[in-house]
Structure 1
Amino acid sequence: MPTTIDRTHNLFPQPTPDRVLLENVSWQTYEALVRDVENQPGLRLTYDRGCLEIMNPLVPHERTKKLTGRMVETLTEESNIEICSLGSLTCKRRDLERGLEPDQCYYIQNEPAVRGKTEIDFDRDPPPDLAIEIDISSSSLDRIAIYADLGVPELWRYDGSDVIIYRLEDKTYRTCDRSPTFPQMTPDAIVRFLEMSQTMGETSWIRAFREWVNAGYG
């Protein structure tokens, strides 16, 4: 049955063109909307203890998340590392009353634990090992805290100019000067290749990244 949003929910002031924020949203309504969004590719939902942000990503956001994801996928392919790529998989836990869709997410160390699964239950399955967060226009909710609460070990966040790499330690994110999973991947390297993509075709760009990987990260 289609689900509609209760119009009695209070909108926060000044919604932006690509997102709207609702408050006093129940967990049941959030889960119903998650099911509805499966038929509307592109929409992103972030739920944080009664607050719900609905985001319609714009072109720069979608391009950047795809390019960053391609770097991870090329790196693991060239390094012969098995991964499970799950894109914007909804990651949610009712006991925490929190949930979101990463821009990209990957099982790497825990890839064997989810291999072949058609459904992942975060009450018993591990969270993704790496998530990518493209935050060009800035979320109204604290998505970083939600990732930490869900237990995602590594997070890359790009704000349109800089990359921050986070590692989870004692349920708190600490910034790193390089990826814990891919030690040669630094924030500067990720930004450099994202900037290169602005002046190159995507095929030529990913070929240049692949050559950089195979040259030993020169």
Structure 2
Amino acid sequence: MAEHDERVAAGRENTMQTGPLGSTIHVLRADAGTIAALAGIDWNRSFSRVCLDPLRGLITLMTPSRLHEDLTDILARIVDAAGNAITGAARDLRHTRLRAPDDPPDTGMEPDCAFYLGERARAYRNALAEGEAAADAFLERTPLDLVVEAEITHGDESRIGRYADLGVRELWRLHGRKGTRDLRVEFLALRPGTMPRELAASEVLGGLTPDDICEAVDGVRLSVTIDEWTSAVARIVRRRRRASVRVRDEAPPYAARTG
């Protein structure tokens, strides 16, 4: 009996994880029909982040820590400011559920940050001007340019592949630890049906690097005015633009063609 209780207790412990930023995360497995039925419950009354994924058979319930929410807000500011400066437009779609057209209603992935950039941001605005139905239809058929996740535990790493299957172009994954100032950012290029490819520089945001983002996070974290945090982002954008110009200037000319 004691052995049975230990096995049950161990099974229960495996459903709950504490993320590196201190968030409490429950990852449960169920069949697709059960998950579709659970989608009718307002889980957000107890958990502010809920993911019901019938394709993977996963129910993920998260109570984000203060650090998680702080980093999410900082990254949203950075991408918004950098996206506007580099691509001319950015649209934050945080708290939007991403799902395939044939997934049950109210299921899907809810990233910490989700963005359209450049032309897609402007196209989404045009759809939104037509009404909520047009905006929803646009979101369903148009993959996101960038998703940011502040905290992914080992039990939920499969969400990266799910984002790829949904057509997301790029994922920024933060690696932090509660109680420290250490932060590492990983850029991943996503393609449906393939393994994520680590990037040295962003393909959707003007060649910004993980080190650029870490620097901007430090600057925005300590900012108390709009001017301070926008200056922190503008600094990394200017540096990346100068580096890009320098690379073009130093590129060797094409060899003259001979007849």
Give how far 1:103 is off. Answer: 0.4
Give how far 1:153 is off. Answer: 0.8
Structure showing greater Rg: 2
Matched, 1:155 2:171: yes
Matched, 1:118 2:132: yes
Find the aligned partners of 1:82 and 1:123 in 2 and give their Cα distance.
17
Matched, 1:180 2:203: yes
The residue that corresponds to 1:99 in the other structure is 108
The residue that corresponds to 2:232 in the other structure is 209
1:125-181 C-alpha deviation (Å, 9 max, x unpaired): 11211111111x625222111111211011111111211111124532211111111
Gaps (5+ residues) in structure 1?
A: 1-9
Structure with the largest fraction of helix: 2
Check whether the contact 1:65–1:134 (CA below 8 A) recurs between aligned residues: yes
Q: What TM-score, normalized to structure 1?
A: 0.78
How many residue pairs are counted as aligned between the two chains?
206
Q: Counterpart of 2:94 in 1: which secondary structure?
A: coil
1:87-141 C-alpha deviation (Å, 9 max, x unpaired): 1211122647882101010112423443315252589511211111111x62522
Identity among equivalent pairs (%): 22
Give how far 1:19 is off. Answer: 1.7
Find the aligned partners of 1:84 and 1:197 in 2 and give their Cα distance.
19
Give how far 1:42 is off. Answer: 2.9
Matched, 1:42 2:48: yes
The residue that corresponds to 1:140 in the other structure is 155
Check whether the contact 1:78–1:213 (CA below 8 A) recurs between aligned residues: no
Over 3 Å counting, the alpha-carbon distance change for 1:187 and 1:206 in structure 2 is same
Check whether the contact 1:30–1:52 (CA below 8 A) recurs between aligned residues: no
Find the aligned partners of 2:52 and 2:150 in 1 and give their Cα distance.
14
Check whether the contact 1:89–1:102 (CA below 8 A) recurs between aligned residues: yes
